Amino acid sequence: MTPARPKLRPPTPREVALLGLAGLVFLGLGYLRLRWKPARAEAAALAESAEAVDAQAAMVRNRAAAVGGGRPLDRAHAEMAAALEAERRALAAVEARFAPDDSLAADLAALARDAGVEIRESAPGEGRAGDPYARPVRRLVVKTSFAGLRAFVAGLAGLRYRATVVRIEVEAGPPLVATLVLAL
Amino acid sequence: MSLAASLGLLAGAGRRRVLACAVDGRELRAACVRAGAGRGDAPVVEAVAAAPLDDPAAAVAAAVERLRRAGARPPARAVLVLPDATPACLELPVDPARPLETERMQKLVRFELEPYLALQAPAPDARPAGGSSAAAPGAAAVALAESVCGYAPLGGPPAGDGRHRWLACGVARPVRDLWVQAFRRSGIGLAALYPLAGTAAAALDGEAAARPCAVLEVGGRVVGCARLSGGAVESVAVHDLGGEPLTADRCLDLAGAGRVWLSGSPASVDEIAEAIRVCPCERCHTVEVEVEVARDGAILGAARHFLGLGGSGRACAVPGRDAATPLLARPRARALAAVAVAGLALAAIEGSVRSTLGRARDAHARATAAAAAARAETRGVAEIEGLGRELERVRARRAYIERDLARREALVPGLLDALAAAGSAEVAVDRVREDDRGGFGVEGFALAFHDAQRFARDLEAGVKPLGCRVEGLRVFEKRGRLGLEGRGFELRIVPVGPAGPAGPVVAFPGAVPAPRKP
């Protein structure tokens, strides 16, 4: 014979009320933890992200305003392109005085001969990478007198094309040996 | 607010008709009563009907049907006079001006009425007092345990202990519910239940109510007796006849001398009144009795009291339904309120959360859109900046060619000219070397110290128009090329700024290229 199972006493109204209250509290806490807190965190993250994006956009706008100088970007772009084109044309006009090819070599040889300068060595040089003064250069090692050197350097101004001494070294010798770097 | 006042308000609100009913041991009598046209007019009985009291619901239905046949339209509300309702005059520690809450008042009146209810409770094996079919075996216990009460103040000064006089009545809840159901089946709401004893007093008015008198209500096995004084009930009691017929002598026992109102079914009261008048006994001839007849006085009294036409202080009734418990006093309502409050709170919080999230998402979307537009601007800005850099490079290149190379073209020949002009037979220049700082180092040989100094001075004068100056002259002993003792010297020619027509000397750092490898 199995012992009779004790019957559970029905809950009193106060116990029912407490159970209900506990249920409400449990639901409330669950809501706060599973909904309210993540939502607040998401809202805070969104606000922070929006603030950062806003700041980034403001920086870009400020940069655009600075670049555009208060003008619309497309207009600033057009004006800048026009200015560049004008500058390029001016540069082309200036560079037109330089020899387009090696035709200046013969002139240099003739000038050296007239000035009594012996060109011992003539070699093209290499400009430095990123150098804005990117003219082709030629390095000359000449043997001459001081007067010949002066005549040779002075005679450069009379050539058909521009040739500018951008570097000079003189060893008095005898004989006088000078190293000239010419921008052509 | 007392029941009478409440009922008066209801009546005053336009509900001017009522179905007034009364039961005795044998039948249910019903009357359609409406208030008079004018204020103070007597109520008008439109129709009357009676039905055997075998079953409450059947009796009500039969009476209503007979009223309809008589051409009356039964009102939607009814009052019932029944012998099961027990009246009593109580002294309660409650000021009528400040009554207790309904529930507490009910408890107090029920407690005070218990002795009267116990007295009237029938024995389990006996037919209940008045012969009402509502009661059943075991009703005595029911009447004591579950009764509903009505009460009305009687007025007058309070007693010495501060108690006030109240007219109260009570009826077993099952009895009331049974009659309420019975009327409901006929589509009529039972609004109030009046006791048999004393209710007829409410039918009196004017001089009749003002004079001291006794009101006897004859109702089958019981007789109710109410004594009036000054227009209010002085005492009320119910007497069981024990199955004996009501005699003139018993009437005198109950009512005493003076004016006596007899109320009940017309046949019974006429019979009793005649019996008193013709009674041959000596007592009936010596006692001065003024007998008046009020046929169906209880029905009229109940209707008059219910319609608010009078009878205040002479009748009270048990309401047809319990006063509504205050909403928040109900556990279920409290639970629902708690759930509703919690739900509303959650809804409010959720609304706030959604609003906050919505605003944040909108702000983020706006910022993202603005950032996208800014990114598009960024490309334009980068292009403009690239154009600007290219423009600067081209300008620098043009400036180099137009300004710097032109200066070099003036500087180098000028420098050679200055060296030639400063030179002499006592000075020989051995080396001229351009350094990376834009200056020129000059080394040479002089026969004497002052020759070197003169050379430096003359050179200074020669390079000054070129924007240069001489510095760092150092003279030291040295043997010359031809073996002559003399002085070696070193000096530097450095640019000093825009002093000359050619401007500052431009340095070309690293401009001496290495020979190109074959």
What local confidence, expressed as pLDDT, does residue A126 receive? 63
Q: Lowest-confidence range among A2-16, B201-215, B481-495?
A: A2-16
Contact A57/B356, CB-based, under 8 Å? Answer: no
Which residues are CB-neighbours of B115 under 8 A, at least 6 positions away? none
Q: In one letter, which amino acid is B284?
A: C
d(CA B195, CA B316): 8
- On whether residue B367 sits in a domain, the answer given is no
Q: Do residue B275 and residue B422 come from a single domain?
A: no
Q: What ipTM does this complex have? A: 0.70
* CA proximity to B78, closest of B263, B323, B266, B302: B302
- Does B398 touch chain A if contact means CB atoms closer than 8 Å? yes
What local confidence, expressed as pLDDT, does residue B302 receive? 92
- On whether residue B328 sits in a domain, the answer given is no
The DSSP string of B27-41 is EEEEEEEE--SSTTP
Terminal CA-CA length for chain A: 123
- On whether residue B501 sits in a domain, the answer given is no
Q: Lowest-confidence range among B1-5, B71-75, B209-213, B409-413?
A: B1-5
Q: Do residue B318 and residue B423 come from a single domain?
A: no
Residue B11: which pLDDT band, with cuts at 50, 70 and 90?
very low
pLDDT, tens digit (0-9, with 9 covering 90-100), for A50-63: 888 888 888 888 88
Whether the predicted pLDDT of A24 surpasses 80: yes
Which residues are CB-neighbours of B364 under 8 A, at least 6 positions away? A46, A47, A49, A50, A53
Nearest to A172 among B338, B363, B429 (CB): B429
Domain residue limits, chain A:
16-96, 103-183
Q: What is the CATH number of the domain that holds B477?
A: 3.30.1360.100
Q: What is the CATH number of the domain that holds B270?
A: 3.30.420.380
Q: Which tokens hold the place of B325?
A: 């418990």
pLDDT, tens digit (0-9, with 9 covering 90-100), for B364-413: 898 888 888 887 888 888 888 899 999 998 888 888 888 888 888 888 99
Please state the φ and ψ torsions of residue B159, each to the nearest 5 degrees: -70, 175
Q: Do residue B313 and residue B440 come from a single domain?
A: no
Contact B395/A56, CB-based, under 8 Å? Answer: no
Q: Do residue B409 and residue B318 come from a single domain?
A: no
Please state the φ and ψ torsions of residue B112, each to the nearest 5 degrees: -70, -25
Please state the φ and ψ torsions of residue B125, each to the nearest 5 degrees: -100, 10
The owner of tokens 């450069």 is A156
- Does B349 touch chain A if contact means CB atoms closer than 8 Å? yes
Q: Lowest-confidence range among B7-21, B43-57, B311-325, B331-345?
A: B7-21
pLDDT, tens digit (0-9, with 9 covering 90-100), for B460-487: 999 998 889 999 999 999 887 778 889 9
> Would you say A133 and B399 are in contact if contact means Cβ atoms under 8 Å apart?
no
* CA proximity to B103, closest of B155, B148, B170, B146: B148
* CA proximity to B81, closest of B276, B236, B217, B268: B217
- On whether residue B352 sits in a domain, the answer given is no
Q: Report chain A residues whose CB lies below 8 A from the CB of B363.
A: 46-47, 50
Q: Do residue B422 and residue B283 come from a single domain?
A: no
Sign of CA dihedral A105, A111, A114, A115: negative
Average pLDDT, chain A: 85
Element (H, E) at A21: helix A13-31
Q: Which tokens hold the place of A9?
A: 């006493």
Q: Do residue B412 and residue B310 come from a single domain?
A: no
* Higher per-residue confidence, A137 vs B303: B303
Closest-CA distance, A65 to chain B, in angstroms, reads 9
- On whether residue B348 sits in a domain, the answer given is no
Whether the predicted pLDDT of B310 surpasses 60: yes
Domain that holds residue B25: 3-322
Number of domains in chain B: 2
Strands B258-264 and B289-295: parallel
Whether the predicted pLDDT of B511 surpasses 70: no
**What is the pTM for the complete model shown?**
0.50
Half-sphere exposure of B494 (CA within 13 A, CB side): 9
> Among residues B272, B306, B322, which one ends one of the domains?
B322
Residue B118: which pLDDT band, with cuts at 50, 70 and 90?
confident
- On whether residue B230 sits in a domain, the answer given is yes
Whether the predicted pLDDT of B122 surpasses 90: no
- On whether residue B380 sits in a domain, the answer given is no
What local confidence, expressed as pLDDT, does residue B282 receive? 66
> Among residues B297, B322, B347, which one ends one of the domains?
B322
CATH tag, A103-183: 3.30.70.60
With a pLDDT cut of 90, the percent of chain B lying above it is 27
d(CA B227, CA B254): 10
Contact A91/B353, CB-based, under 8 Å? Answer: no
Q: Do residue B193 and residue B71 come from a single domain?
A: yes
